[in-house]
Amino acid sequence: MPTALITGASRGLGAAIATALAGSHDVLLGGRPSAELDRLAASLGGATTFAAELTDYAAVAAATESITSLDVLVHNAGVESSLESVADTPVQEWQRVLEVNLVAAAELTRLLLPALRRSGGHVVFINSGAGIRANPGWAPYAASKFGLRALADSLRLEEPGLRVTSIFPGRIDTEMQRRIVAIEGDPYDGGAFLDPATVAAAVAAAVHTPADAHPVEVVLRPAGRP
């Protein structure tokens, strides 16, 4: 059975993606060591955990040493930004968001390229509507997602033996979304956002696209929203 590594898999969209791929792949559940990650592994029939802090590059390098072949790598891990203006955003916030959302994804990709090349693998980047359009207050987050799109585009051209897909979902009903809406000061209506299972289904569809096609970009928006 092919193998898929999903980062940020302990909850939310990452857990939904792992669940969507578990029937067709041996899944490696990436995330910080936690009871949530262990529970998900058990619920998926004893899936393997890839428990590492992605910005601890020495730990990530050690964790990837044993992965000699990899069919699918899904970059889902990420953090939101503080939703402040450029004028009010300190350098530490830029560094934090870019480190997690972009630099860590680039480094994990680099470390796993030999394994992906060996299997003619597929790299999926969970991007965002913010990777297509930047809005006021979202500069660090949007910059990280625009950068993630550039990483995917460059990788696609540099590695013709791989498939590379960017997924651009609109807002998703997750814990992260609850935090964002709370910062914005609005009431939370989960029904106004995408279901994580819907986005996970789009990821699975891209992964299962027959080999004669290359799913380059997938854009999803909540129904009724532009």
- List pLDDT tens digits, range 161-207: 999 999 999 888 877 777 777 777 778 777 778 999 999 999 999 99
- Could you tell me what percentage of the chain is helix, strand and coil, using 3-state DSSP and rounding each to the nearest 5? 45, 15, 35
Note whether 173 and 194 are within 8 A (CB).
Answer: yes
Note every long-range contact of 114-119, with CB atoms under 8 Å and residues 24 or more positions apart, other chains counting.
114/68, 115/64, 115/67, 115/68, 115/69, 115/70, 116/70, 116/73, 116/159, 116/162, 117/159, 117/161, 117/162, 118/68, 118/69, 118/70, 119/2, 119/69, 119/70, 119/71
At 69, phi and psi to the nearest 5? -145, 135
User: What topology is assigned to 3-220 in CATH?
Assistant: Rossmann fold (3.40.50)
- List pLDDT tens digits, range 26-48: 999 999 889 999 999 999 987 99
Active site residue 188: no
Check residue 185 and give its pLDDT: 74
Predicted TM-score (pTM) of the model is 0.93
Check residue 176 and give its pLDDT: 77
Q: Which of 125, 141, 146, 193 is catalytic?
A: 141
The domain spans of the chain are 3-220
Q: Which two tokens stand for residue 181?
A: 């809406």
